[in-house]
Amino acid sequence: MFENYYLTVDEVAQALKISKSFAYKVIRNMNAELKEQGFFTMSGRINKQFFLEKTQYNPNKLKERK
């Protein structure tokens, strides 16, 4: 039911085309922001909806550019 609500560090690294170690930093910063707002966070994972809003990530647009 809730299997795709969080992105892993590997998924973040792949989506942003960054190293895994930098993806951990990105997730840590985003989770800190969520925690300040009173939300539950998990180390090494980020809420998918928050990630997509924050990065304006749309994989379909990347395919259109090619």
pLDDT of residue 16: 92
| Cβ atoms of 4 and 45 closer than 8 Å | no
Long-range Cβ contacts of 48-54 (<8 Å, 24+ apart): 48/4, 48/5, 48/6, 48/7, 49/5, 51/7, 51/12, 51/15, 54/30
pLDDT tens, position by position, 11-32: 999 999 999 999 999 999 999 9
What does the pLDDT read at residue 65?
A: 47
Question: Which is more confident, 18 or 61?
Answer: 18
The confidence score (pLDDT) of residue 48 equals: 92
Reading the block at residue 24, the tokens are 């951990």
Per-residue pLDDT band for 34 (boundaries 50, 70, 90) equals: very high
**Residue ranges of domains in the chain:** 6-65
pTM: 0.79
Q: What is the pLDDT of residue 4?
A: 85
Which long-range CB contacts under 8 A does 52-56 form with residues at least 24 apart? 54/30, 55/15, 55/16
